[in-house]
Amino acid sequence: MKKIYLKTLERFKEMPSIKFVDKDRAQIDTTERPAVRFPCALISISLPRRKNLAETLQLCECNVTIRIAHERFADSSNLSDTQRLNLALQYYDTIEEVEALFQGFGDNEMNRWECISSIEEQRADLDVMRFVFKTGFTKQID
C-alpha cells in the first residue's frame, strides 16, 4: 500500500494546481479551519479483496480514494454573473484534470487504474469530489 501511496504522490507532482496532497485523516471534516491549502487532494487506500495465488503470494484488488476539496469562492447559481460563475466552476476544471491524470495510470507493478466512481459530497463549506480508482497488484508476503 505504501508503494501505491508514493506513486500517487509522485503523480500529483504533474498537477501543480493541487496545492496540498496528503493521506486522508479527515483534515477537512472538522468544524475548525482545515490545516490544508486549497485545492487539496486527500488519499486513502484499501484492499477490499485479496486472493491467495500461493502460500505467501496474493492477488490484491486495490481501491484508491482521492477526495478533491476546493474552497467555495462564489455562487454557482443562475443569478451569478459570468465572471463569478466561471470562478465558482473552476472546481469542475480541477476534478476533470484529476480524473484525466489517474484514469489509465499504471506501471509494471500495478494494473492500469480505472475510475469506478466519482461522487460529489454535499457540504455547506467546501466543494468536494470523491473519486474511487480501482487497480490491482500481486503481493509477496514475507
Spans of all domains in the chain: 2-45+65-135
pLDDT at residue 48, rounded to an integer: 97
10 Å CB burial of residue 111 (0-12, 13-18, 19+) is middle
Whole-prediction pTM value? Answer: 0.90
pLDDT at residue 83, rounded to an integer: 74
pLDDT at residue 142, rounded to an integer: 87
pLDDT at residue 72, rounded to an integer: 77
pLDDT at residue 69, rounded to an integer: 96
For residue 122, the tally of other CB atoms under 10 A from its CB is 6
For residue 117, the tally of other CB atoms under 10 A from its CB is 11
> Residue-wise pLDDT tens for the chain (142 aa)?
999 999 999 999 999 999 999 999 999 998 787 789 999 999 999 999 999 999 999 999 999 999 999 987 656 666 666 777 777 778 899 999 999 999 999 999 999 999 999 999 999 889 999 999 999 999 999 8
| CATH code of domain 2-45+65-135 | 3.30.2000
Nearest to 11 by CA among 117, 129, 104: 104
Nearest to 129 by CA among 117, 141, 138, 137: 117
